[in-house]
Amino acid sequence: MSRYAVVITGDEGRFSAYAPDLPGCMVTGESLEVIQKNMRVAIAFRLGSMQKEGKEVKEPESLCGYVDVETPPGSKTTRGRTNLKYAVILVRVESGFSAYVPDLPGCMARGGSLDAVKAAIQKRVYEQLVTSHGEGKELEGPQSRCGYVVVNAFKSPTAVTDVSAGFSFLGSEEIPHEHLWWSPSDTQRAQMSTLGVAMQVRLGKPGGQELSMTFVLIPRGSFEMGSPRDEIGRDIRETLHRVELTRSFYLKSFPVTKEEWYAVMGNRPAHFRHAPAQAPIESITWYDAIEFCNKLSEFEGRTPVYKLKDIKRDAHDRIRSATVLPNFKREGYRLPTEAEWEYACRAGTATAIYAGDMTAAEGGACPELDAIAWYAENCSVTYEGASEWVNISQGMIQAGTHPVCQKEPNSWGLYDMLGNVWEWCWDRYEPYATGLVLDPVGSVRGEKRVMRGGAWSTVAKYCRAAKRVKVKPSKRAPILGLRLVLPEPQDV
């Protein structure tokens, strides 16, 4: 038996949960009981799939619990509480334990023992509450719970050591145990497809083959959008502010690839013609991306989100200008908003990149970025037609896009969010607000649209989660690509 830590958020009939040890393993449900059931199936499905694919499956490393923190004197809290109970996730590391608080992005600590890490995380939580109080914010109660799901997932029973040292672990509130066999049955697989963990979309392909696109469910929530003033590589247009996204959504787990583009559009606009078919599509305009969304929606029998008027095309029948009117209530494919993109990229983190803070930004190698992104310092390729590029460490190289999913994903199972190609967002560019914003969609004025994420040709500072760039929607370059959003079904 193996015991997996689980983080649960939500209330009033809308819950979501994820397992920190299994990136992308997420479920939704209308009650805690449904969440328990769905998460067991999701974990068993993930482990069974990994086994069949020959991937190494490790014992879970994360532990979970709670820590009580007194609120700062004079602070306002919901329901007038004087202490708040925060869920904490711990991971064993060589020097002891590392811990973070899901409800407080960037609130992390380390310690050589459970006592030490408990004291450190309590201090960090209190400091963050003091900062919020100093800014005049009402302190909301924690939204996350934590617990365990046990599955019969490994061939040999493995004891999971309980931890104590003052942490209030779930005890009687612990998620009830149920066991599933290692390899999920067909019934379990069928159930899994209805849980909202991921959504598969199949595309036709010349020759009768099929392509499959995977979408990961991104739970609704709030986060600090932008960057703190001391972040390395920061831009003044990244004013830190609070954003709340009130609806969950599905986000494609990697950028649209060349082969996916061809399967839908039937043309090949990519500059890197000899790059692998699994490399991101590039050299597409914002208008191209909008048209792709609509065509894919029609292909799948969905109502397109975008209505195009006053269309003008070039000699290659590509849109060079148009009036685009969105209807976000429709079920078709669309581009992410800028806020959705950054929220998904961060996946609960508050650092410059989802792998942590960066030690280099202006040029040269950035070790923290190397593991998760293709950027100027690691972008060399060998295929024909690559670009000549100069980087700090190697000088003149042949460079270009790389196949997707070769770098490490973030904790929500999203690949290539940083580097490889910039990704178009829906929004027109506008300066950020300074207060809380709900579901922002950008300005209604102006021409330039926002793109996010950096590309194979950019130095590290352009590959930060907060970096935003504005570009004319008619711009075409071998660094511009896209990623898709699907709305969460109404009955999920």
Please compute the mean of the pLDDT values over residues 356-376 and round it to a whole number: 88
Residue-wise pLDDT for 116-128, tens only, equals 888 888 888 888 8
Please compute the mean of the pLDDT values over residues 30-52 and round it to a whole number: 77
Third-level CATH fold of 218-487:
paralog of FGE (formylglycine-generating enzyme) (3.90.1580)
Banded model confidence at residue 419, pLDDT cuts 50, 70, 90: very high
pLDDT value at position 138?
A: 67
166-170, 317-321, 425-429, 484-488: segment of lowest average pLDDT: 166-170
CATH code matching the domain that covers 2-195, chosen among 1.10.132.20, 3.50.50.60, 3.30.160.250, 3.30.360.10: 3.30.160.250
Q: Which residue has the higher pLDDT, 194 or 204?
A: 204
Question: How do beta strands 62-70 and 26-29 pair?
Answer: unpaired
100-109, 261-270, 432-441: segment of lowest average pLDDT: 100-109
Banded model confidence at residue 183, pLDDT cuts 50, 70, 90: very low
pLDDT value at position 205?
A: 53
Please, what is the average pLDDT of the chain? Answer: 81
pLDDT value at position 69?
A: 84
Same-fold call for 2-195 versus 218-487 = no
pLDDT value at position 142?
A: 82
pLDDT value at position 184?
A: 32
Q: Which residue has the higher pLDDT, 447 or 163?
A: 447
Res 357 pLDDT > 70: yes
Residue-wise pLDDT for 197-208, tens only, equals 445 566 655 445
Banded model confidence at residue 323, pLDDT cuts 50, 70, 90: very high
Res 455 pLDDT > 80: yes
Domain residue ranges in the chain: 2-195, 218-487
Res 93 pLDDT > 80: no
24-33, 135-144, 416-425, 451-460: segment of lowest average pLDDT: 135-144
Res 159 pLDDT > 60: no
Res 485 pLDDT > 60: yes
pLDDT value at position 163?
A: 33
Residue-wise pLDDT for 46-69, tens only, equals 777 777 677 777 778 888 888 888
Q: Which residue has the higher pLDDT, 361 or 428?
A: 428
Residue-wise pLDDT for 277-299, tens only, equals 999 999 999 999 999 999 998 88
Res 156 pLDDT > 60: no
In the chain, the percentage of residues whose pLDDT exceeds 70 is 82
Res 96 pLDDT > 50: yes
